[in-house]
């Protein structure tokens, strides 16, 4: 079993990161539930968005995202060439549909969800 330590190290690192994400998500969900109870169960008065399991996704790998962009541009170029040959209207430029990060990535950087504020100072 030689040369397996880098793979094991990578798996361990990913497992640690997943655990950190799950702990942060659990802390947020518990704080959100506590605020909801304090405002009488009315979700509109909580002031934070509810974090659902489908909101927790990894960001795309930069290399994979770049490869997807290149493939999309090639498809658009081929489509434009086909339209020219058929005498159809040309699609102006190769349009891309960029994936926008979910709200959770923006929310955590705004400073409103500081772990110390949520967990230690209370609501």
| Domain boundary assignment for the chain | 1-59
pLDDT number for residue 95 = 47
Report whether pLDDT(51) > 80. Answer: yes
| Mean predicted confidence (pLDDT) in 73-78 | 91
Distance CA 51, CA 120 (A): 20
Question: What's the mean pLDDT when you consider all of the chain?
Answer: 77
Report whether pLDDT(96) > 50. Answer: no
**Residue 81 — φ and ψ, nearest 5°?**
-65, -40
Q: Which two tokens stand for residue 121?
A: 């100072």
Distance CA 115, CA 31 (A): 10
Distance CA 30, CA 119 (A): 9
Report whether pLDDT(74) > 90. Answer: yes
pLDDT number for residue 88 = 75
Distance CA 75, CA 73 (A): 5
Q: The pTM is what?
A: 0.47
Report whether pLDDT(121) > 90. Answer: no
Largest CA distance in the chain: 67
Report whether pLDDT(70) > 60. Answer: yes
Tell me how crowded residue 28 is: count the other CB atoms within 10 A of its CB. 22
């Amino acid at each position: 079993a030689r040369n397996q330590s880098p793979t094991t190290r990578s798996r361990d690192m990913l497992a640690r990161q997943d655990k950190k994400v799950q702990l942060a998500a659990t802390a947020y969900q518990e704080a959100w539930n506590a605020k909801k109870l304090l405002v009488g169960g009315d979700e509109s008065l909580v002031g934070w968005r509810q974090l659902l399991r489908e909101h927790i996704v990894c960001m795309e790998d930069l290399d994979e995202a770049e490869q997807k962009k290149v493939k999309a541009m090639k498809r658009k170029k081929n489509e434009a060439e086909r339209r020219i040959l058929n005498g159809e209207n040309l699609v102006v430029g190769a349009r891309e549909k960029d994936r926008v990060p979910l709200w959770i990535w923006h929310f955590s950087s705004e400073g409103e969800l500081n772990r110390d504020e949520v967990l230690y100072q209370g609501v």
